[in-house]
Amino acid sequence: MDRTPLAIVAYALYLYLSGLSLRKGSRAISFFYPRSHQSIWRWLHRFGSLSEALYVGKVKVAVVDERTVIINGEEA
């Protein structure tokens, strides 16, 4: 498989940092380059120090996984 252009990687990270899940970001870029959500996760960890350049909104860095947290019997 050929390497993903840096512009597509940056766009996928931008989508994730904007609030899309890894899977939805993967679907969004699949029109250009079919890549898995694991690819975006790896890019996030590889280029995480560059998140300042992709800053979107008030939070500078958000670390999110796709798990559900249950507090006192309710999803949070």
Any domain includes 18: yes
Q: Does 22 map to a domain? A: yes
Q: Is residue 1 part of a domain?
A: no
Q: How far is Cα 56 from Cα 38, in angstroms, rounded to an integer?
A: 22
The answer, yes or no, to whether residue 19 has pLDDT greater than 60, is yes
Contact (Cβ atoms closer than 8 angstroms) between residue 40 and residue 65? no
Q: What is the structure's pLDDT at 54?
A: 57
Mean pLDDT of 7-14: 88
> Model pTM greater than 0.75?
no
Q: Is residue 55 part of a domain?
A: yes
| Close Cβ partners of 3 (under 8 Å, ≥ 6 residues apart) | none
Nearest to 63 by CA among 71, 53, 51: 51
Is there a domain that residue 29 lies in? yes
Classify residue 52: in a domain, yes or no.
Answer: yes
Domain encompassing residue 23: 6-75
Domain-located, residue 51: yes
- Beta-sheet strands, E only, within the chain: 70-71, 74-75
Bridge partners, 74 (sequence order): 71
Q: Is residue 21 part of a domain?
A: yes
What is the domain count for the chain?
1
